[in-house]
Homo-oligomer: A and B are copies of this chain.
């Protein structure tokens, strides 16, 4: 079976406190699929989003916790309108995210914003009028 290379099966964020991280994402509206002692999974469109303790990731990869850093990566979740960008930015900061860049008009004609989750992972909430989303919220 030859599969396309353009695939990501899991996106897993390392978190200091799994309960705090779950509380944040579930307050935002993420629907849990399954949780264990050190990890929580959320089903997506043929892939999964995961939260994994820093200690667990360090052990799994053989790295030191001190070497595991955040911020040079963004996960974007597009929204169907500017108003929905404002709304999810407000929900995220209310749920414990740090505002990084309040909603702004982008130079490419869209509308965007950035927050850092409780562990410093960067999320963009954006509206792109040139890239409509289908009814499941995926790029059409």
Contact = CB atoms under 8 A, between A and B. Distances in A.
Interface of A: 1, 3-14, 28-31, 42-49, 52, 54, 57, 60-63, 67-80, 100-101, 114, 119-122, 124, 126, 133-139
A135 B46 contact: no
B1 A46 contact: no
A100 B63 contact: yes
A47 B45 CA distance: 9
A76 B122 contact: no
A100 B12 CA distance: 17
Contacts of A7: 44-45, 77, 137-138
A3, A13, A134, A135: which has the most chain B beta carbons within 10 Å?
A3
A30 to B, nearest CB: 5
